[in-house]
Amino acid sequence: MAYDQNNIFAKILRKEAPCFPVYEDDMTLAFMDVMPQAEGHTLVIPKFPAENLFDLDPEYAGAMAKTTKKIAAAVKEAFAAPGILIAQLNGAAAGQTVFHIHTHIIPRSQGIDLKLHARELADFEELKRHAERIRKALG
Ligand code: 5GP
């Protein structure tokens, strides 16, 4: 399947759609997931038009891993999370719903179940506060 330039993350990268950003550099952008599976659920995307890992330029794969590590540490601190789940889905069969590659960074605590994937829209004021918390942890 050809990369769809009108997918929502492509629009966020072109600033045609809003997001709650936490970090940006030349090759990547990190922002809050609007339907979080746990408080602090953050996404990292490369500034490269790839649907999945197989289409991604290796340099951008490296940049994405680097940003994911950096943001995961900040999310862990900001939400005092004992665990962090990192996920990256490739293809509809794997559960992918937005076809611009991204990593999910999701705080986990024992005994607290994850909410359903891409199901319930969060309160935008709360997402804004969460993004601020993560930016603060980034220093
Ligand atoms: P996937 O299923 O492709 O691995 O994950 C896509 C993620 O994008 C889901 O967790 C979903 O909640 C999130 N998402 C879908 N639409 C939007 C949007 O417009 N903005 C943001 N920030 N996240 C979105």
How far away, in angstroms, is 112 Cα from ligand 1 center? 21
pLDDT 10s digits, 40-58: 999 999 999 999 999 999 9
Q: Which amino acid is at 19?
A: C
How far away, in angstroms, is 32 Cα from ligand 1 center? 9
**Residue 49, CA distances (Å) to 14, 61, 105 in order:** 12, 12, 21
Query: What percent of the chain has a predicted confidence (pLDDT) above 70?
Result: 99
Which residue, judged by its Cα, is nearest atom 17 of ligand 1? 34
pTM over 0.95: yes
Which distant-in-sequence residues (6+ apart) come within 8 Å of 42 by Cβ? 22, 30, 31, 32, 33, 71, 75, 104, 105, 134
Angle at 31 between CA 27 and CA 36, to 5 degrees: 140
How far away, in angstroms, is 71 Cα from ligand 1 center? 17
pLDDT 10s digits, 79-106: 999 999 999 999 999 999 999 999 999 9
Which residue, judged by its Cα, is nearest atom 9 of ligand 1? 118
Catalytic annotation on 117? Answer: no
**Domains of the chain, start order:** 8-138 (3.30.428.10)
Tokens describing residue 104: 């999910």
